[in-house]
Structure 1
Amino acid sequence: MQKELAKAVVFDIGNVLIGWNPERHYDAVIGPERRKALFEAVDLHAMNDTVDRGGDLAELTATLAEATPEWRDEILMWHRDWLTMAAPAIPHSARLLRALRARGIPVFALSNFGIGTFDIACRAYPVLTEFDRKYISGHMQVIKPAAQIYEMLEADSGLSGAELLFTDDRADNIAAANARGWQTHQFTAPEGWAARLVADGYLTAEEAA
């Protein structure tokens, strides 16, 4: 028996619609060994979590660089090269988003993303402007996997539980959605997400190609 279709499909952004792998960029620029030493000495991901809660990336990197002068240039690189780290585009995922909307299925974003960095990403990747609703953590001042951010989406959209189908690359974010009764798909590649959308009846195989 085919399950009931959700009333909206919710996309994470990083590693679903666009790449997000700072380590890969640092490896290319300063080499894996120095990158490993940097990430052990400086919690850049914690700083980025603060950005995703609404902090200013330029201010936060400048403050951290001043406090950690031995890694100053590498810390500032997080701001200077941010768009290079938020790459590449994942075109198949963009096609799936557009195919869903063409079917009349509302598509939302639920993403840990800074306010300023999301604006930069939208200019670089126009597909990020095409959501029916955008739930961006920087504006919401809470990040996944905190239950509050899922609650806020439900309250704003009027949807909950099985009325939402959510894809995200991180297991902890998926687990938090599952705990609220959402339908979920852990994203590993667009082909798997496409197969799920076809299997559940949202798209035909041709539409999901």
Structure 2
Amino acid sequence: MSENPRAVIFDIGNVLIQWRPERLYAQLMPAEDMARFFAEVDPHLMNDRIDRGAPFRDTIYAHADAHPEWSAMIRLWHDRWIEMASPVIDGSVSILRQLRASGVACYALSNFGVESFAYAETHYPLLAEFDHRYISGHMRTAKPDAEIYQMVEADCGLSGNQLFFTDDRADNIEAAASRGWQTHLFTDPTSLRAALTRAGLPVQ
């Protein structure tokens, strides 16, 4: 039988703050150009290197230099990054604050670059509202690699169903579930609140 979790772990992008790079590019180019841009340049692969500790600006600008046809658009991933990471998902932030006010430990586990996270902190004070933050760029590994989940367990001293984890990506959820964590694939704050309630956590 599952025990009530002793800590709740939140992903950040698309759980607490929207992460929608495509939304910005859709404002700047026709749909067919945007589809070709993402297919030819694969900026998400570039972003994965940043999430694993590569430098923010230098990685993006080097990628732009390697793709001169798209260089101006690629540089926007750095220059207008904050527009891609917005707005706050208020319902999720309310859940985070209610859990913490009830004495439940809350952690962040997020694929995020070192410098981009520092930049996000200047816009989003809520990023300071965790008992601990596990940021992939600092850890030099990223979800869904098993290593990052092992590192969280070793640091916080909890494992298995003592941990409740919510993330918007199924592969990240599956990796956590394989370690026995209680999990919820995030779609919206209402369903997250219901899942936390079922897990016996105080979010009524």
Question: Which interval holds the TM-score relative to the shorter structure?
Answer: over 0.9
- Counterparts of 1:135 and 1:29 in 2: how far apart (Å)? 34
- The residue aligned with 1:81 is 80
- Counterparts of 1:84 and 1:191 in 2: how far apart (Å)? 25
The alignment's C-alpha RMSD in Å is 1.1
Q: Does 1:140 align with 2:139?
A: yes
Q: Does 1:154 align with 2:153?
A: yes
How many angstroms does 1:204 deviate by? 4.4
- The residue aligned with 2:184 is 185
Q: Does 1:164 align with 2:166?
A: no
Q: Identity of aligned pairs, percent?
A: 51
Amino acid at match of 2:174: A
Tell me the secondary structure at the aligned position of residue 197 of structure 1: helix
Tell me the secondary structure at the aligned position of residue 62 of structure 1: helix
How many angstroms does 1:120 deviate by? 1.2
How many angstroms does 1:199 deviate by? 2.6
Amino acid at match of 1:166: F
- The residue aligned with 1:92 is 91
- The residue aligned with 2:51 is 52
Residue correspondences, number: 204
Amino acid at match of 1:58: R
Amino acid at match of 1:102: A
How many angstroms does 1:198 deviate by? 2.1
Amino acid at match of 2:124: Y
**Deviation per residue, 1:180-200 (Å, 9 max, x gap):** 010000100011001112232
- Counterparts of 1:116 and 1:24 in 2: how far apart (Å)? 22
- The residue aligned with 2:102 is 103
- The worse-fitting range, judged by mean Cα deviation, of 22-31 and 36-45 is 22-31
- Counterparts of 2:196 and 2:183 in 1: how far apart (Å)? 11
**Deviation per residue, 1:115-172 (Å, 9 max, x gap):** 0111111121111111000000000000100000000000001110011000000000
TM-score under structure 2 length normalisation = 0.97
Tell me the secondary structure at the aligned position of residue 27 of structure 2: helix
Q: Does 1:5 align with 2:23?
A: no
Amino acid at match of 1:61: I
- Counterparts of 2:174 and 2:199 in 1: how far apart (Å)? 20
Give yes or no for contact 2:5–2:201 (8 Å, CA) kept in 1. no
Amino acid at match of 1:200: A
- The residue aligned with 1:31 is 30
Tell me the secondary structure at the aligned position of residue 165 of structure 1: strand
